[in-house]
Every structure is written in structure tokens, then in C-alpha cells.
Homo-oligomer: A and B are copies of this chain.
């Protein structure tokens, strides 16, 4: 019954309003507010799902979804999640499910090969014990940032001879001002002092990427003030505008100060399986960790964030726990990986299965084709924007995200332009035929057109562009 539901859903999702028109509190008016005492036939549950839940969903699977980044999906990914849910295994230690641990390690190793990551990041476990490199699958990029921040924090505290946590007030962290806000949240969670979290300004001259010279200046000033540079977050494909921080140059700066460098390639990392995009992570062999999320652009449903680190011991030193009830011969032998010691909590789902099933079923060539097809559609959209002189592309397109806006023209001020773009976005989103989000780049209100939802084809991109043009013309007519 739920499989039928999904088939129907995918058949109809194109015609559903991508952004629903419901008001806050709508669901509580449709469903009973108290839990039922008695059981109900499953079709009652499904009826309520269809009638009350679906109409209030924002349809991320809709071909008319262009907001945020797409959450791409696939039959193999869904099947993997389904099977993992049914087996419902909790692979905190190797013994608690050998296949779950080994499959996760294998899937990470395969993906590392597709990304041509250096072998120093690969999990090598053998008769000689664990190597230093390794990976783990987490739920979100935030978790990848948090665990590496904590590992870097603890290493820096040891380095500066801190008695317990006291030295934390001397530790500093760095990222471009375009870095995802969750990075600053994770620094906060890990206890870094708000006064020591540096947001390095970016500008148009670097396409809003981290400027290594500014980074070096900031770090040097901190060192001169007796502070301890601890961690630098380097984003490949920022959320706002897909800026790419220069990995190699950042690593060069970091090396001089013994600071941890993490690459957050949550979205654009998937593109790096294509040789023509791989250069964006050149220099990765000199960083400490890298994470990317196949749940964003590699056809693997939520949640799946892959983290690789060059030295797993630095993670496990900070994250290992061994209560009596989790002790077992395999762990004590030192020949296995216990993935609980590389993540935030202890319990964990079998996320490696879906990632492996996606790679096993589609193969490298089809995954690359999927990336290239999205990029080609984005390029087509970009060309359309450039061909209409009412609009402008605000930053160069690197992947499948186009940042554009109605440019100030015909006597419009910057303020008028912001109003017009805001109005355009709201009108588009109200039609239910397209959903776009916005951002601010260099102080400008900009529309983000993110290509790549699982069901999207060229015709949807074309229709969206026609809708944008038509709506803009209507707005002008009304003025």
C-alpha cells in the first residue's frame, strides 16, 4: 500500500503546487488532536496521509522545485533506506553488526575512489590493525563539522598545555563570511569563544570565496596576540552562491600554524566525481578532513553525509567511549573499526547500505551523467538569463546553481531592484508552479535557481524561465 502511494506520488508530484498554500496550524484542524485508543486499518492512516499531509508538503521531489539545494533521490537509494529500516540494525560497534560497519567502510572507500581522494583518507583495517585514515557516514554536515572541531579543539588544548578546558579562550577558528551559518553554530556548540570565531570578509573580486591573504593576516594577528589558530573551514560550493574557497592556498596558510583544515563540500562534492570538476578540491591531500553529502546531489535519499579524516585517532581520542556493555573481543583485538567513536552519539542507522546500492546499481558513468545533465540545464538557464537584458547573472555559475536578479534598469534604484526581485519571488512561489529561494550576495537581494531535483527535465527549466519572464512582464505592466 505504501509502495502504491509512492508510485502515485511520483506520478502526480509534477501537478501538485510545489509550495503549499496552507496556513500555520492547518494540520491540527484536519487531524484529531488526541492519539486514538484503538487500532485502525492501515488504509485509514494512508487516507489521512493523502488528504491531510500531502497537501501541506513542500514538494522537494517536484520537478518545479528550484529552492535551496535539491535533495536528489533514486529508486536504489529509497530501496536501500527501506531495507535498512526493515533490518533496523544498530551498528555502533563492529560486533553489533559486522556487515553494517564493513559496508559503510566499503561505500566510503568506493566514493573516495570516485572523488580521487588521496589514499591517506581511506579506511585501512587489516591484520596489522587500523591505519590512520578513515571515514564515517553521519546525518548532516553540521555533525561532520562538530566532530572535527572537537578533535581539533582537544589537539590544540594539548598542544598549548591547557589544564583541562581552560585554554579554550585562546583558541581561534576561521571561515569566510559566506560559510554556512551552521559552522558558526557548531563552533558555539563545541564551546569556542564567540570573540574568537573569525568570519573573514569576502568580496566580488574573489567571487565571494575565502581570500588566503586576508586569512593569513587574520591568523597572524591572532598569533601575535598570543592566540592559538585551531581550525579553518574551507567551503567548496557555498550555499549562498556556490563560491569555492581555494583549498590548496588555505592548506598552505594552515600548515604554517598547525591548524586543522576541513573542506565542506556538502553540495559540490558530488560534482567532483566528474574529472572536469575535480580541480575544485585540488590540495585535498594537504587538509585534515573533508565532508560531502550524497543526499544532496548524488541520488541518495536523506540522510547521508560522508566524512573522511586523515588521522582517525584524533577523532577517536575525543569521541571514544567504552562502557562495559559495549566491550567485546573484536573491539579489543584492535582489528575492527567501531564507528560510534567517530560520530556525535552512539546509536546509528545502517546508512552505508543505500550509498552502496546507489553506486552499485548506477555505476560511476551514470552518476557522472546525472551531474552533467543538471549542470547543462543550469547552463541553459544561465544563457537564457544573459539573453534577457532585464536580468543579470550576479556571480559566475560554478555548478548547477544560478544566482540572478532583475537588474536595476530604466531608472530603477538598487532599492527598487530589491523590491522587484522580492516581489518576483513571492509571485512565482505563490503560483505553485515554481519554488525559488533567495540570498544576499554583496548586499544585493538575489534569486537562487538551483537545478537538479530528481524528476527535473529540460522542459521544467524552460517552463520556469518562461514563468519568470512572464511574471516580470506582468509586474512591469502593473507599474
Q: Which residues of A are at the interface with B, using a C-beta cutoff of 8 A? A: 1-3, 5-6, 9-10, 19-20, 22, 24-28, 31, 33-40, 42, 44-45, 48-49, 52-61, 67-68, 71, 73, 75-79, 81-83, 85-91, 94-100, 102-103, 106, 109-111, 113-114, 125-126, 139-143, 146, 150, 153, 164-166, 168-169, 180-182, 184-186, 188-195, 239-240, 295, 301-303, 318-319, 321-327, 330, 333, 335-336, 344-349, 353, 357, 359-366, 437-440, 448, 454
Among the listed B24, B89, B96, B346, which residue makes an inter-chain contact with A140, where contact means beta carbons less than 8 Å apart? Answer: B346
A28 contacts B239, C-beta separation under 8 Å: no
Contact A360:B36 (CB < 8 A) given known A83-B5, A193-B166: yes
Are B20 and A345 in contact, with the CB atoms below 8 A? no
What's the least CB distance linking A167 to chain B, in Å? Answer: 10
Besides A35-B364, A86-B301, A181-B321, 17 more A-B contacts (Cβ < 8 Å) are: A24-B94, A27-B99, A39-B365, A42-B75, A45-B360, A45-B361, A56-B102, A57-B87, A57-B97, A139-B345, A189-B344, A240-B324, A302-B347, A303-B349, A324-B440, A325-B438, A325-B439
Check B363 against A40 for contact (C-beta < 8 Å): yes
CB contact under 8 A between A58 and B164, given known A48-B360, A140-B346, A323-B181: no
Q: Within 8 Å CB of A113, what residues of B?
A: 34-35
Tell me how many chains of this kind the complex includes.
2
Contacts of A22 in B (CB 8 A): 98-99
A373 to chain B, nearest CB (A): 15
Whether A185 contacts B321 by the Cβ 8 Å rule is: yes
Q: Are the C-beta atoms of B56 and A99 separated by less than 8 Å?
A: yes
- Check if A146 sits within 8 Å of B40, measured CB to CB: no
Are B76 and A45 neighbours in the complex by a CB distance under 8 Å? yes
Contact B56 A239 (CB under 8 A): no
Distance A342 CA – B403 CA, assembled complex (angstroms): 30
- Return chain B residues, CB-CB under 8 Å to A20: 98-99
> Do the beta carbons of A301 and B85 come within 8 Å of each other?
yes
Contact A85 B78 (CB under 8 A): yes
Question: Is there contact, CB below 8 Å, between A38 and B191?
Answer: no
Q: Are A33 and B439 in contact (CB under 8 A)?
A: no
| One of B71, B88, B110, B323 near A60 (C-beta < 8 A) | B88
- CB neighbours (8 Å) of A49 from chain B are 83, 353, 357
Give Cα A448 to B324, complex, Å: 12
A190 partner, pick from B61, B189, B365, beta carbons under 8 A: B189
Is A71 a contact of B89 with CB atoms below 8 Å?
A: yes
Q: Closest CB-CB distance, A303 to chain B, in whole Å?
A: 6
Collect the chain B residues with CB atoms within 8 Å of residue A302's CB: 85, 88, 90, 347, 349
Q: How far is the CA of A309 from the CA of B140 in the complex (A)?
A: 23
B181 touches A345 (CB 8 A): no
Give chain B residues whose Cβ lies under 8 Å from the Cβ of A437.
325-326
How close is A444's CB to chain B, nearest CB, in angstroms? 11
Residues of B within 8 A of A9 (CB): 86-87
Closest to A178 in B: B323
| Pairs A–B under 8 Å by Cβ, sample size 7 | A6-B82, A140-B347, A185-B346, A190-B190, A240-B324, A302-B349, A327-B438
CA distance A232 to B349 in the complex (A): 28
CB distance from A95 to the nearest CB of B (A): 7
Query: Among the interface residues A35, A53, A109, A165, which one has the most CB atoms of the partner chain B within 10 A?
Result: A35
Q: CB-CB < 8 A to A90: which residues of B?
A: 60, 68, 71, 302
Determine which of B24, B182, B186, B325 lies in contact with A330 in the assembled complex, contact meaning CB atoms within 8 Å: B24
In the bound complex, CA of A302 to CA of B97 (Å)? 15
Q: Of B39, B181, B194, which one neighbours A363 at CB under 8 angstroms?
A: B39
Q: Which residues of B contact A67 (CB under 8 A)?
A: 96
How far, in angstroms, from A150 to B448 measured CA to CA in the complex?
33
Query: Is A26 a contact partner of B98 (Cβ separation < 8 A)?
Result: yes
Q: Which residues of B are found within 8 Å of A52, using beta-carbon distances?
A: 99
A103: chain B residues within 8 A (beta carbon): 27, 53
Cα–Cα distance between A10 and B165 once the two chains are bound (Å): 49
On whether the beta carbons of B366 and A39 are closer than 8 Å, the reply is yes
- In the complex, what residues of B have CB within 8 A of residue A185's CB? 319, 321, 345-346
Chain B residues with CB below 8 A from A301, complex form: 85-86, 88
A98 near B323 with CB under 8 A, answer: no
Complex Cα distance, B34 from A113, in Å, reads: 7
Q: In the complex, which of the residues B83, B165, B454 contacts A6, with contact meaning CB atoms closer than 8 Å?
A: B83
CB distance B189 to A79 under 8 Å? no
Q: CB within 8 A of A143: which of B54, B192, B330, B344?
A: B344
